[in-house]
Amino acid sequence: MSGNFLALAQPGVQQLSPYVPGKPVDELARELDLDPASIVKLASNENPLGASPKALVAIREALDELTRYPDGNGFALKSLLAEQCRVELNQVTLGNGSNDILELVARAYLAPGLNAVFSEHAFAVYPIATQAVGAQAKVVPAKDWGHDLPAMLAAIDANTRVVFIANPNNPTGTWFGAEALDEFLQDVPEHVLVVLDEAYIEYAEGSDLPDGLDFLAAYPNLLVSRTFSKAYGLASLRVGYGLSTPVVADVLNRVRQPFNVNSLALAAACAALKDEEYLAQSRQLNESGMQQLEAGFRELGLSWIPSKGNFICVDLGQVAAPVFQGLLREGVIVRPVANYGMPNHLRVTIGLPAENSRFLEALRKVLARG
């Protein structure tokens, strides 16, 4: 005899679908018998520059200590982050990617009978983290593909403990300004923790996006979540962080797994954080690549959602799945977003100039074939 272990799982978990990452290059090569070197992957919002050279040096220098557990407190990285982010050491929580921070928040503050509020077309981890602990996910309809902050505020009730907001938002790339954020935070009840997910904020420096760090002192119920996976080019090492009041950080550390950030990730993140030249190059490449793709979409007669991330969602004006499959046959991997309620869009990561050109040419061929 065997039990029905799906039925035995929490109701919220039963209703979830597993997170589907971007298709790996090797998988596509096996499926279609393609040369992996010929495949262009623009699906997972990775930094096309590769890792910072300084981060690579730091990793090599840390290899001799692989038999040792990492610093469970992450003192060196937390010290650098505290200095750069203008906070105290006890306000920093390290995570195995910023996803880990979102999971820690859910484990610490959500439970059956409670709920989290977030937007339609928002990051898939929000419902996963919420429903996995038995809490209710309250999804607020989007406005112009982005967060409708007044509607999200109205959705908060006595059982709300967490609100997830992303700026810029993934997968849409939409954003809101400082005034809108401040007005929202002013009206959020004190018993609700606002998680401001800024995974892509480094790409928006000098733009009209607010810096969440500017609001931390004024709002004790605010947590800012960031990552080294995007602009800092360390996606495979999985290192992120949260910035909050010392009380919130202490609560998260009570449920944080010991040694959740490995030694190589800690060393690489410290080095990457100091490499200002690399970060500037990442921003410049992203800006020029965004312009390249927008010009290509314009030439193809396609519309898109303006983005402040390192990706852009193009509206194909038709169901995107067949186009996605056609691009795969051309050796180009992008990201379908039908699971986000966007069946006509594809999300495209900004790549190197040659990669962007390859994608646009492949898209032209696929669309011409109908």
Q: Kindly state the average pLDDT of the residues 96-107.
A: 96
Q: Kindly state the average pLDDT of the residues 310-332.
A: 97
Q: pLDDT tens digits for 73-100?
A: 999 999 999 999 999 999 999 999 999 9
The pLDDT assigned to 290 comes to: 97
The pLDDT assigned to 8 comes to: 81
Cα(312)–Cα(295) distance, rounded to whole angstroms? 12
Q: Kindly state the average pLDDT of the residues 267-288.
A: 96
What six digits make up the tokens of 130?
């919420």
Q: Given a cut of 90, is residue 343 above it in pLDDT?
A: yes
Q: Given a cut of 90, is residue 7 above it in pLDDT?
A: no
| Residue 146 per-residue DSSP state | B
Compute the mean pLDDT over every residue in the chain, rounded to the nearest whole number: 95
Q: Pairing between strand 160-166 and 115-119?
A: parallel
Q: Given a cut of 70, is residue 2 above it in pLDDT?
A: no
Phi, psi of 323 (to 5 degrees): -65, -40
Spacing of C-alpha 164 from chain mean position: 12
Cα(197)–Cα(351) distance, rounded to whole angstroms? 23
Q: pLDDT tens digits for 123-147?
A: 999 999 999 999 999 999 999 999 9
The pLDDT assigned to 288 comes to: 97
| Per-residue burial over 213-226, b = 16 or more CB atoms within 10 Å of its CB, e = otherwise | bebbeebebbbbbb
pLDDT band at 1 (very low <50, low <70, confident <90, very high): very low
Q: pLDDT tens digits for 153-194?
A: 999 999 999 999 999 999 999 999 999 999 999 999 999 999
Of the candidates 359, 357, 352, the one whose C-alpha atom is nearest the C-alpha of residue 335 is: 359
